[in-house]
Amino acid sequence: MRILVTGTAGFIGFNLARRLLREGHQVFGVDGLTPYYDVDLKRRRHRVLESHPNFRAEILRLEDAEALRRAADAAKPEIIVHLAAQAGVRHSLEAPREYVDANLTGTFNVMEAAHAHGVRHFLFASTSSVYGANLQAPFRETDAADHPLSLYAATKKAGEAMTHAYAHVWGIPTTAFRFFTVYGPWGRPDMALFSFAEAILAGRQIELFNAGQMERDFTYVDDLVEAVIRLLPLAPETGRPVGAADSLSPAAPWRAVNIGRGAPVPLMEFLAILEKALGRRAQTVFAPMQAGDMASTFASADLLEDLTGFRPSTSASLGVPAFCEWLLAYRADPEEVCARAAAGLQA
Active site residues: 152
CA distance 131 to 178: 10
Gyration radius of the chain over CA positions: 19
CA distance 194 to 322: 12
CA distance 269 to 193: 12
Nearest-CA neighbor of 19 among 52, 66, 65? 52
Name 258's bridge partners: 178
State the burial class of residue 188 (Cβ atoms within 10 Å of its Cβ: 0-12, 13-18, 19+): buried
Cβ(14)–Cβ(57) below 8 Å: no
CA angle 6, 9, 13 (to 5 degrees): 55
Cβ(223)–Cβ(314) below 8 Å: yes
Q: What is the dihedral of CA 332, 335, 338, 344, to 10 degrees?
A: -90
Q: What is the dihedral of CA 25, 116, 71, 176, to 10 degrees?
A: -60
